[in-house]
Amino acid sequence: MSGAIRRELAALYRLAHHYGWTDLTSTHISARLPDDPEHYLLNSHDLMFDEITASNLTRMSFDGHAVDDEPGSGRIVNLAGHIIHSGILSARPEVNFVIHSHTRAGVAVSAMPGGLLPLSQHAGFVLGTLSSHPYQDSTAVADEGALLARDLGDNYAMLLQNHGLLVVGRTAAEAFQYHYYLEMACKIQVDILAGTDRPIEITPDAMAALHDWGAPANGPHGGVQWPSLMRMLERTVPEYRE
């Protein structure tokens, strides 16, 4: 089981690189290890996302210690990443993957007074399961992981104000799907608001159907698209599995 989880998490990192969701090495994606409940997987802070493979992911304890599979590997722990991911995974036992990003559009929308607006189908997919969290330095606030989990609640996506995006998924496919739609919705919103201060909003009645489309209760989502994404990685960067 852990080998399959490692490959799926490595695939998420390569997809984040492919879709331009990276911020040097400063963002992170995590995975729970169902057969090793005392640990989870996270990236080493010194690796770019297109360098990440199944074998160089770091096994982390929930109290913040890296468990080196290869002694002397020199892997660097991202403390902010650990705080965020351990807090969410501890609070949400049904969730197995967490994605946190600092995309340009995601940060922009997270800093807008109205947050994400009902301007696109993409927004409709996530608005029914979207929270927000005020900006705080993750490493300087006591219990920030618990506060993030509190503000996420039972939702599957969150705007971290002035900071970026966070999504969760029961599967790797679902985490990818929620991040894809949230990021696309943010890009579309930035484009629309650059062209007009009087955007056409989707009506509440029409938006209700979109909320149902993206509702966690109707998931896990992403299973249709995930195999094609894996085929793309197999064609282009098969070394992600190593």
* b/e code 55-67 from CB counts within 10 Å (16+ = b): ebbbbbebeeebe
d(CA 96, CA 85): 10
Residue-level pLDDT at 12: 98
Q: Position 36: which residue type?
A: D
Residue-level pLDDT at 130: 98
| pTM to 2 decimal places | 0.95
Mean pLDDT of all residues belonging to the chain: 94
d(CA 201, CA 127): 13
Q: In what order do the strands lie in the sheet with 39-42?
A: 66-67, 58-61, 39-42, 28-32, 97-101, 164-169, 157-160, 130-133
Judge contact between 100 and 81, C-beta under 8 A.
Answer: yes
d(CA 168, CA 30): 10
Give me the percent of the chain exceeding a pLDDT of 70. 97
In terms of average pLDDT, the best of 41-45, 63-67, 98-102, 140-144 is 98-102
- ∠ Cα 62 83 67 (to 5°): 40
Q: Which of 53, 152, 44, 14 is nearest to 95 (CA)?
A: 152
Average pLDDT over residues 101-121: 98
Judge contact between 148 and 98, C-beta under 8 A.
Answer: no
Predicted confidence (pLDDT) at residue 72 exceeds the cutoff of 80: no
Q: List the beta bridge partners of residue 98.
A: 30, 168
Q: Residue 47 — φ and ψ, nearest 5°?
A: -105, 135
**N- to C-terminal Cα separation, the chain:** 15
Residue-level pLDDT at 134: 96
